[in-house]
């Protein structure tokens, strides 16, 4: 575009400004068909790499936000239909494997360059794009009459991955500058582009202020409405996910659907139904965990280090997992012998499956979790122990300060911890008194 004085005018950004703009994509195929090798005209690698550093600093907070968004997002009918159709989320073991693979991909995207064709990040993201295409085609064939995995669906999923962090950073233990949050929105604009989301329907196309407004609209007018009257398959799928997650904690029920929803409602400033004793404990554990993550950088870095250790293992295994269709199709879960995988179109030669192929020949119930389950299993137990120790130390320090200096000068962390503890004690006492 040329200006009146002969200079080049900046190209006007295109993107949604409200939820209605996104809903216009409900009947549009969720893949624009644009080549992943074509850089968008708005690409800024300086901002992109800043977002990567943001992930390195706040990995644990992002992971917890994804967890909360996923439990709520299961209530979206069209997205739940895709999960049910693929038959890969119906049991704890299947669900755990599915979301371990999701974590693999997310880690690769955040730690690499999704625009570099030679990188694992690029391969990972394009594998997910192919999976979406395969599921979309299969659902169109078996359940015609609706546009599956549309642009609108892709935008709703996008809001789940970045929305909670950008609208509620403090609730998830993130104290970052507005510029850092803007850069993270830009990162997800890049991810959306590489997944085939057209700029017109890319939730992050017009920056953080507009994306935040749309995220709030999605939450209030879509997610909360669907969650109030969830589809019949919501409870089985959500329970399978939570039970699978608890397999990483040596089978201890550290997480639950109700406590996760209660935490999310609290973060949104909403009230949730009363919880039982154990769910109340889980609810306050989540709050205390993220409170300390936000106020104690050493604690945050320790948890991040555990996640990064897992992330490095994930990236090393990613090449193997990308070739998983050699033994089973990621769409149908069927064992492949002399067939073509519907995702890649690659013909697989008939051969016996071996345990060295990440156990792909075994059913998800039979195969062990080769994804360093022990490493992640230590996280909840270590978190709980460290939180108790830190809480005891904070209370002792606060008591000493109060006794010898007549107050708690500048101890905002101590004040927050005490308020949370007092609120938890009152809730538990009220709960016990009703039984």
Q: What integer pLDDT is reported at residue 360 of this predicted model? A: 34
Mutual angle of helices 234-246 and 77-86, in 10-degree steps: 60
Q: Token digits for 348?
A: 């697989």
65 lies in some domain: yes
pLDDT tens readout for residues 97-117: 888 888 889 989 999 999 999
The residue-averaged pLDDT of 404-431 equals 64
Q: Token digits for 333?
A: 């879960």
Percent of the chain with pLDDT over 90: 47
Q: What integer pLDDT is reported at residue 90 of this predicted model? A: 80
Within this chain, do residues 243 and 356 fall inside the same structural domain, yes or no? no
* Whether pLDDT at 315 is above 60: no
Per-residue pLDDT band for 309 (boundaries 50, 70, 90) equals: confident
The residue-averaged pLDDT of 293-316 equals 74
Within this chain, do residues 234 and 338 fall inside the same structural domain, yes or no? no
Q: What integer pLDDT is reported at residue 279 of this predicted model? A: 93
Range of the domain at 342: 323-368
* Whether pLDDT at 316 is above 90: no
C-alpha of 233 from chain center: 20
* Whether pLDDT at 343 is above 50: no
430 lies in some domain: no
pTM equals 0.78
Within this chain, do residues 183 and 53 fall inside the same structural domain, yes or no? yes
End-to-end CA distance of the chain: 71
360 lies in some domain: yes
Question: What number of residues does the chain have?
Answer: 435
Rounded CA-CA distance 342/56 in Å is 35
Q: Token digits for 61?
A: 């907070």
Q: What integer pLDDT is reported at residue 172 of this predicted model? A: 96
295 lies in some domain: no
345 lies in some domain: yes
* Whether pLDDT at 132 is above 70: yes
* Whether pLDDT at 50 is above 70: yes
Those residues whose C-beta lies under 8 Å from the C-beta of residue 170, and which sit 6 or more positions away, are 294
Rounded CA-CA distance 21/217 in Å is 12
Q: What integer pLDDT is reported at residue 386 of this predicted model? A: 53
Angle (nearest 5°) at CA 50 between 46 and 51: 120
Q: What integer pLDDT is reported at residue 97 of this predicted model? A: 83
Q: What is the mean pLDDT of the chain?
A: 78
Q: What integer pLDDT is reported at residue 272 of this predicted model? A: 84
Mutual angle of helices 120-142 and 92-111, in 10-degree steps: 140
223 lies in some domain: yes
Q: What is the DSSP letter of 21?
A: H
Within this chain, do residues 238 and 340 fall inside the same structural domain, yes or no? no
Q: What integer pLDDT is reported at residue 305 of this predicted model? A: 83
Report helix, strand or coil for 100.
Answer: helix
Rounded CA-CA distance 81/79 in Å is 5
Backbone angles phi, psi at 206, to 5 degrees: -105, 15
* Whether pLDDT at 88 is above 80: no
Structural domain ending residue among the three candidates 306, 340, 368: 368
The residue-averaged pLDDT of 120-141 equals 92
The residue-averaged pLDDT of 74-94 equals 87
138 lies in some domain: yes
Per-residue pLDDT band for 310 (boundaries 50, 70, 90) equals: low
Q: What integer pLDDT is reported at residue 206 of this predicted model? A: 96
* Whether pLDDT at 3 is above 80: no
Lowest model confidence (mean pLDDT) among 86-90, 179-183, 237-241, 399-403: 399-403
């Amino acid at each position: 575009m040329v200006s009146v004085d002969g200079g080049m005018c900046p190209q006007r950004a295109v993107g949604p400004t409200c939820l209605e703009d996104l809903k216009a994509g409900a009947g549009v195929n969720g893949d624009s068909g644009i080549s992943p090798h074509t850089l968008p005209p708005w690409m800024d690698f300086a901002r992109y790499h800043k977002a990567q550093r943001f992930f390195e600093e706040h990995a644990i907070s992002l992971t917890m936000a994804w967890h909360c968004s996923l439990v709520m997002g299961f209530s979206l009918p069209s997205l739940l239909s895709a999960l049910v159709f693929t038959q890969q989320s119906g049991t704890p073991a299947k669900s755990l494997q599915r979301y371990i693979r999701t974590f693999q991909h997310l880690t690769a995207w955040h730690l690499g360059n999704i625009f570099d064709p030679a990188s694992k990040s690029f391969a990972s993201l394009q594998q997910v794009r192919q999976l979406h295409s395969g599921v979309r085609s299969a659902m169109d064939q078996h359940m015609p009459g609706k546009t599956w995995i549309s642009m609108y669906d892709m935008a709703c999923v996008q809001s789940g991955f970045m929305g909670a962090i950008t609208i509620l950073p403090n609730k998830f233990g993130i104290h970052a500058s507005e510029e850092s949050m803007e850069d993270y929105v830009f990162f997800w604009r890049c991810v959306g582009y590489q997944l085939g989301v057209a700029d017109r329907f890319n939730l992050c196309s017009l920056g953080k202020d507009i994306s935040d407004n749309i995220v709030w609209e999605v939450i209030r007018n879509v997610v909360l409405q669907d969650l109030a009257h969830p589809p019949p398959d919501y409870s089985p799928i959500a329970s399978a996910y939570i039970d699978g997650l608890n397999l990483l904690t040596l089978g201890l029920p550290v997480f639950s659907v109700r406590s996760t929803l209660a935490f999310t409602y609290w973060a949104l400033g909403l009230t949730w139904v009363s919880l039982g004793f154990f769910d109340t404990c889980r609810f306050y554990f989540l709050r205390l965990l993220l409170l300390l993550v936000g106020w104690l950088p050493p604690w945050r870095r320790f948890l991040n280090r555990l996640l990064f250790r897992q992330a490095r293992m994930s990236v090393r295994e990613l090449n193997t997992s990308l070739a998983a269709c050699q033994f089973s199709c990621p769409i149908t879960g069927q064992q492949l012998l002399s067939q073509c995988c519907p995702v890649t179109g690659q013909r697989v030669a008939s051969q016996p499956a071996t345990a060295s192929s990440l156990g792909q020949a075994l059913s998800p119930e039979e195969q062990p979790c080769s994804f360093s389950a022990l490493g992640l299993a230590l996280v909840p137990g270590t978190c709980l122990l460290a939180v108790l120790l830190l809480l005891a130390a904070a209370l002792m320090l606060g008591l000493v300060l109060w006794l010898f200096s007549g107050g708690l000068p500048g101890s905002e962390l101590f004040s927050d911890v005490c308020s949370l503890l007092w609120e938890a004690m009152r809730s538990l006492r009220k709960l016990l008194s009703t039984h």
